[in-house]
Structure 1
Amino acid sequence: MKTKLLVLLLIASFSIHAQQYTSIPDVNFENKLISLGIDSGAPDGRVLTSKVTSLTSLNVSNSAIVDLAGIEDFVSLKLLDCTDNSLTQLNLSKNTTLTGLFCSNNKLTTLDLSTNKVLNQLNCSTNRLTQLNVSKSTALTNLNCSNNLLATIDLSQNSLLLMLGAEYNKLTEIDLSNNTALTSIQCAHNQFTSLDVSKQLALEILDCSYNWLSNINVSSNIKLWKLMCNNNSLQSLDLSKNNKLTFMFANNNLLTSLNIKNGTNYLFNPNTSVAGFYGNPYLTCIQVDDAAEAKDRWVNRKDAHADFSTDCAAFTAIPDVNFEKRLIALGIDRDGLNGKVLTSNVASVTILRVYGYSIADLTGIQDFTSLTILDCSDNELTALDVSKNINLTDLRCGQNKLTALNVSKNVNLKSLYCSYNKLPTLDISSNLALQSLTCQAAELTTIDLSKSISLTSLLIDDNKLTSFNGSGSTALKSLAIQNNQLTTLDVSNNTSLNSLACNRNFLTSLDLRKNTELTSLNCHTNNIKCILVDDVDYAYANLSSHKDAFSAFTKDCNAVTLIPDINFENKLIDLGLDSGAPDGKVLTTNVAPLTNLDIKGSSIKDLTGIEAFRELKTIFAEKNELTTLDFSSNKNLNVINVRENKLKNINVRENNLLVGLSVSKNELTTLDVSQNTKLWDLSADNNQLTSLNVSKNLLVENVIVNNNQLTSLDLSNNTLLNYVACSSNKLTSLNLQNVKTITSLYCHDNLLTSLNISDQTSLIEFTCYKNYLTNLNLTNNTKLNSLDCTDNKLTNLDVTQNTKLLWLGCEKNQLTTINVSKNTMLNQLYVSNNFLTNIDVLNNPELTILLLL
């Protein structure tokens, strides 16, 4: 017998060696191999290894391939093209002879090239790569890794690199010091703030557009014929050494200096070149070889305020050295630190930002006659004269030491920011166009807004104001006046107001009845008990998050809420919400701000008046005698406990913040929770419910509906369920499909004939006794430790996969055998009233209770 077996093994071995196959699990990959004549016949998941080992080139592009498994046997491959597929991984560790790899337009997240040391061409663009290591591929000459998610890339070992494509990534820096042979660099649409190409003497093409570059030096790149540096933050650009340029875009930058005077006319030949300098708001002079020629040919390629000149050179005194340094840094001053700047350089400047540079004197600002925006915030200024800057529309001079500010000549001013100064008064009577004023923490004691008819935004918080009159500012939409010393605030004329912040004052009242556009209110840390509003419902729904807890919205500060149930009112008296003898009413302002109400066990029959408890978040009203409840006005409720009452109906349709609802032990026949989409705990047991729809309650974790009249229950949408109790109903259908999180399921005492629990892989406790089940598949319920399926019609019960079972009850069924040999942790087993003739418990050493009869 041994001899025969040996012969068979030898024959099998020879057969295998004679016909060795390579597995090709992806049918589209194999179909492509068939179409290429590498494989034949119908796809069978494999290809003769001998057919692939000698292949040197393989093109399987655009073939809907998901898996390139099998490629490892293509050991002679030099060229692989698998572009335009759906690959998520690519193992090329065995393809050590590869010189060209083209895998663009896939879904690769990683790419290991550590063994591909002779690779010289790589295109892995348009994938999902977050990193790429090409340090071992030292022969690389062409690399395209664009359209990925790369934040860094190391090219220090790739000294032979000629062409680099790295556009559309997340690169912030790149070291090209070892890549001196580069002729083409395309790195647009990244996040570079600097780029050094000084060693790339052979460079012909550079596209670094759409980055954050403030400077680029191409003076050593004399072979450069194409330059795209548009959409950056470049302040100066010198192309005087680049006399081969025929294609150049420098538009949409912050250029103040552009020199394209390079001694050639290539750049100005409209038949062979393209150029663009527009979108540079600070560029007034472009230095060229021939100004007339440039104006004739390229007038539409620049901004209207810029001009061409062969020499872009009145001076304006700038005595403050820090001011001049900033002008130099901005490229406005280009002749060094000498206390002056070319007037022509500043006259056309429309936007000047010199914030945070320790400037004490802004002398010279008067010659910035075109200025529309000035930001000189966060400096050391004690005085500021902007009387000559009549075009100013936006002035920011906050965080200085200003004691006076004169804006009387700036009639075009629309926005003024002067916060954090020492301005006791501010005259804006001439600024009729002013729309936005921000003057926070400026030590203001008074402010006159009588002429501020255009004002829409006013932020004057953290000052020393004791009064406020904004009656003339009828266009005002936003008012922040918090942390002052106000005792009254009248905003009745400001009917367009949509945002009001008046917190941290000394207000005792607030009338918002005319402010019907209000969407944001902050009035906390005052002493306001009653806030008058036009629409109470809207106020509580939209304006209540930033007021004091004791503040109530009302149409009448003396309004009362009727409380007809004497026991309810007595309880409110006990809680300090009402006072004196019961009179059937309570001040609305006493109950409206309440967030938590506990009235359990108070013999209350009627909860009329609860609608005034607008801010209620939790209510505990269990063990009363309530028959009906309507919480439609209590929209902030998140917990309701009204168990053990006599409820016949309850309305919770408006309570979309509800997370916990307990209505157990009542007389409900219907319950609508379709609007309670945040609900995670529902207890409705011991009622008379005939149906229950929880399909909208996607967050619910616990459902308890025992002892009702339910005939079906669909929980398939409730995929976060943990605990389900639906016993003692009339269920003939229970749908638990897709609910994998249930750990406890109690569905006993129903009319179920079948039950699918194959999705309940987390189930630990399960009772289904007293049903009509004929089959029970527990194969997937491997975490089960307690099972009671007593009193069904089971003829077979397989618990061999339930090795964690501690308790098993299967009495009163029709079992003829049961195998518990795998249930070694079992300590209680109930199998009486079946048709068993024997049972083997030798593998159950923990068994303490065994009931057979």
Structure 2
Amino acid sequence: MKNRILSSTLCVLAFVPVACEKNTEHEQVPVEIALSVSPSELAFSSENEVKVLSVETDASEVEITDNLSWLVIEKTEDGFSIEALENTATDSRSGVLTVFAIEGKYKETLEVKVTQQGAGAKAQFPDAEFRRLMLELCDADGDGLISQAEADRVGELDLVYDSESTERSVIKSLEGIKLFRNLRNLDCSFNALTSLDLSGMEHLEFVDCSYNLLTSLNLSACPKLLQVYANVNALTSLDLSGNEALKFVQAYKNRISSFELKDKVDLGYLDISQNALTSIKISGCPKLGILNCGSNYLTRLDLSDLPYLYSLGCYRNSLVSIDVSGFPELLMLECYDNNITMLDLSACPTLGSVRCSNNLIEELLLPQNKKDLVTYVICSGNRLKSLDVTMYPNLKTLDCATNFLTELKVSGCSMLESFKCDENLLEALDLSGLTSLINFTCTDNKLSELSLVECSSIETVDAQRNPLQSLWITAKQQSSKLQIKTDDNESIVKVVESL
């Protein structure tokens, strides 16, 4: 009996381990893992920002999903460092991160909501001052954004900087301006813009971007553009090829080296003076009446396709000749400070004002038709030897100083008010009939006698550095406030008692 019980016992003992192993495999109790995070949600501003997500757990491993491209996640001793990259979009963005606590083959999870604000108006208008002004002017609902509906109501923007204003600072960028797709008039002068892109603004009619720091200006695909002011910038080129409706262009004081304009059938005014032009081509602009290309480096000027030009400024260039014979409407010509040797204005019937000083002109032919229109002639600083203006009855101003004149005829010019003939070789000068003459200078000539008796309106006379023996005036002139400068007034000035 004893042997059977042991055996049973032995049998029982032998089978116990097997029974225990089988129970462990199929009936193991799940492991409970503690997991908590702080904060439970992550909220970022639109700027680049870093926050810490603290994790508490009794698990041996902690992991986190990396499924949001705008987050940079790094593991730390206490959890995770989470960096949100700057959100340059207008709208906010969000996502979910999942934290895993792992112990063996068991794990616990928690979801963490992540949000980041949108850039709002900053995305629309990166420049702080431009953004402030747009929100102030256009944000009707006060939501900190300019909706398309709000932008579409804007037809005019006055962004001129006033240096005396304490409420404004300069604008450095107009990025976002195209949101205002119905904009017709834009004045952004006197700011600090370095570039301006207005391309495709199909309703734009007027632009003034003068007095900035512009090196580039894009006005392409603006079919309704009528007027452009781009003065005093640093532009090296100006492309107006896509602006067919243009009527007025002003772009003086820039750095433009070449300029071409064609097929602007309504263009009436162009000022591209004070640049660095070595070439200019204008064609297909039949209505161009005013052209100013002065203060450049032009050596030639082709005006043959401008039949209705009435005002031409080509001063301070390097021109050796200029042909204005085909301009029946020309009223004013300014071609001073060039290298012109001969100037023929005889075929300019409507010319009233000419300023051709400081050239090399040896022959000057003034208009031969409608002589009564000529009122202003400045031809000083040339090489003229003779000049006759007696056939121009309405001439008011004549300056022919610093020439080589030995013959000068002005008698009968009853409307002449200002007359200068200094630094010539004149030995005689007839001033008869100059009843309107007010100011007269004839210094540095060879005059021995002058008579002012018919110059009833005279106020100032300067005849210094002449070998004058007599200067005749009337008693009335003597008693008036007539100012006379000669080398010896007392012995030279003589009074005519009666005419």
**Could you tell me the TM-score, scaled by structure 1's length?**
0.33
Aligned match for 1:681, one of 250, 264, 269: 269
Measure the CA separation in 2 of the matches of 1:746 and 1:707. 11
1:655 counterpart residue number = 243
Shift in alpha-carbon separation, 1:570–1:801, aligned structure 2, 3 A: farther
After superposition, what is the alpha-carbon deviation per residue over 1:355-398, rounded to whole angstroms, capped at 9, x for unaligned?
Answer: xxxxxxxxxxxxxxxxxxxxxxxxxxxxxxxxxxxxxxxxxxxx
| Equivalent residue letter for 1:719 | P
Query: Could you tell me how far 1:659 is from its partner in structure 2?
Result: 0.5
Measure the CA separation in 2 of the matches of 1:830 and 1:845. 16
Shift in alpha-carbon separation, 1:804–1:577, aligned structure 2, 3 A: farther
| Equivalent residue letter for 1:815 | L
Other structure's SS at 2:259 match: coil
2:436 counterpart residue number = 846
Other structure's SS at 2:199 match: helix
Measure the CA separation in 1 of the matches of 2:126 and 2:411. 68
What is the 5 A alignment of 1:480-495?
A: none
Query: Could you tell me how far 1:697 is from its partner in structure 2?
Result: 1.6
1:769 counterpart residue number = 357
Higher fraction of strand: 2
Q: Do 2:347 and 2:367's aligned partners in 1 also have CA atoms closer than 8 Å?
A: no
**Could you tell me the TM-score, scaled by structure 2's length?**
0.55
1:604 counterpart residue number = 193
1:159 counterpart residue number = none
Query: Could you tell me how far 1:798 is from its partner in structure 2?
Result: 2.0
1:640 aligns with 2:202: no
Query: Could you tell me how far 1:733 is from its partner in structure 2?
Result: 2.3
Shift in alpha-carbon separation, 1:820–1:660, aligned structure 2, 3 A: same
2:316 counterpart residue number = 728
After superposition, what is the alpha-carbon deviation per residue over 1:643-678, rounded to whole angstroms, capped at 9, x for unaligned?
Answer: 111111221101010000111111111122123232
2:209 counterpart residue number = 621
Query: Could you tell me how far 1:568 is from its partner in structure 2?
Result: 5.4
Q: Do 2:229 and 2:249's aligned partners in 1 also have CA atoms closer than 8 Å?
A: yes
1:792 aligns with 2:376: no
2:138 counterpart residue number = 576
Measure the CA separation in 2 of the matches of 1:843 and 1:591. 65
What is the 5 A alignment of 1:366-765?
A: 572-573=134-135, 575-576=137-138, 580=144, 586=176, 590-608=179-197, 610-765=198-353
1:313 counterpart residue number = none
State the identity %: 26
Measure the CA separation in 1 of the matches of 2:310 and 2:261. 19
Query: Could you tell me how far 1:815 is from its partner in structure 2?
Result: 1.0
Measure the CA separation in 2 of the matches of 1:775 and 1:587. 55
Q: Do 2:259 and 2:277's aligned partners in 1 also have CA atoms closer than 8 Å?
A: yes
| Equivalent residue letter for 2:184 | T
Aligned match for 2:410, one of 820, 835, 844: 820
Shift in alpha-carbon separation, 1:691–1:561, aligned structure 2, 3 A: farther
Shift in alpha-carbon separation, 1:577–1:649, aligned structure 2, 3 A: farther
1:810 aligns with 2:400: yes
Aligned residue pairs, count: 292
Q: Do 1:732 and 1:751's aligned partners in 2 also have CA atoms closer than 8 Å?
A: yes
| Equivalent residue letter for 1:595 | R
Q: Do 1:625 and 1:645's aligned partners in 2 also have CA atoms closer than 8 Å?
A: yes
2:492 counterpart residue number = none
Structure number, greater radius of gyration? 2
After superposition, what is the alpha-carbon deviation per residue over 1:556-595, rounded to whole angstroms, capped at 9, x for unaligned?
Answer: xxxx99766666555655653898489996495x411111
Shift in alpha-carbon separation, 1:569–1:731, aligned structure 2, 3 A: farther
After superposition, what is the alpha-carbon deviation per residue over 1:665-702, rounded to whole angstroms, capped at 9, x for unaligned?
Answer: 11111122123232110011111111111232211011
What is the 5 A alignment of 1:324-339?
A: none
Query: Could you tell me how far 1:618 is from its partner in structure 2?
Result: 0.8
Shift in alpha-carbon separation, 1:714–1:569, aligned structure 2, 3 A: farther
| Equivalent residue letter for 2:138 | G
| Equivalent residue letter for 1:847 | L
| Equivalent residue letter for 1:594 | L
1:521 counterpart residue number = none
CA RMSD for the aligned pairs?
Answer: 2.6
Other structure's SS at 1:713 match: coil
Measure the CA separation in 1 of the matches of 2:175 and 2:340. 53
Q: Do 1:758 and 1:780's aligned partners in 2 also have CA atoms closer than 8 Å?
A: yes
| Equivalent residue letter for 2:270 | L
Q: Do 2:417 and 2:439's aligned partners in 1 also have CA atoms closer than 8 Å?
A: yes
Measure the CA separation in 1 of the matches of 2:174 and 2:347. 56
Q: Do 2:363 and 2:384's aligned partners in 1 also have CA atoms closer than 8 Å?
A: yes
What is the 5 A alignment of 1:14-53?
A: none
Query: Could you tell me how far 1:607 is from its partner in structure 2?
Result: 1.5
Shift in alpha-carbon separation, 1:740–1:627, aligned structure 2, 3 A: same
Shift in alpha-carbon separation, 1:715–1:585, aligned structure 2, 3 A: closer
Other structure's SS at 1:648 match: coil
Other structure's SS at 1:818 match: strand
Q: Do 2:130 and 2:174's aligned partners in 1 also have CA atoms closer than 8 Å?
A: no
Q: Do 1:779 and 1:799's aligned partners in 2 also have CA atoms closer than 8 Å?
A: no
Query: Could you tell me how far 1:828 is from its partner in structure 2?
Result: 1.6
| Equivalent residue letter for 2:356 | C
Shift in alpha-carbon separation, 1:573–1:681, aligned structure 2, 3 A: farther
Measure the CA separation in 2 of the matches of 1:807 and 1:592. 52
* Larger RCO (CA under 8 A, 6+ residues apart): 2
| Equivalent residue letter for 2:292 | I
Measure the CA separation in 1 of the matches of 2:254 and 2:205. 22
Other structure's SS at 2:228 match: strand
Query: Could you tell me how far 1:845 is from its partner in structure 2?
Result: 1.7
Measure the CA separation in 1 of the matches of 2:177 and 2:305. 45
Other structure's SS at 2:363 match: coil
Q: Do 1:568 and 1:602's aligned partners in 2 also have CA atoms closer than 8 Å?
A: no
Shift in alpha-carbon separation, 1:751–1:618, aligned structure 2, 3 A: same
Other structure's SS at 2:377 match: strand
Measure the CA separation in 1 of the matches of 2:174 and 2:410. 68
Q: Do 2:380 and 2:399's aligned partners in 1 also have CA atoms closer than 8 Å?
A: yes
Measure the CA separation in 2 of the matches of 1:754 and 1:774. 6
Measure the CA separation in 2 of the matches of 1:689 and 1:711. 10
Query: Could you tell me how far 1:735 is from its partner in structure 2?
Result: 2.0
Other structure's SS at 1:649 match: coil
2:425 counterpart residue number = 835
Structure 1 stretches lacking a partner, 5+ long? 1-559
Shift in alpha-carbon separation, 1:666–1:841, aligned structure 2, 3 A: same
Measure the CA separation in 1 of the matches of 2:259 and 2:138. 34
Shift in alpha-carbon separation, 1:587–1:833, aligned structure 2, 3 A: closer
Q: Do 1:779 and 1:802's aligned partners in 2 also have CA atoms closer than 8 Å?
A: no
Measure the CA separation in 1 of the matches of 2:297 and 2:139. 41
Moved more, 579-588 or 775-784: 579-588
| Equivalent residue letter for 2:398 | L
| Equivalent residue letter for 1:599 | C
Shift in alpha-carbon separation, 1:777–1:612, aligned structure 2, 3 A: closer
Shift in alpha-carbon separation, 1:587–1:839, aligned structure 2, 3 A: closer
Measure the CA separation in 2 of the matches of 1:799 and 1:664. 35
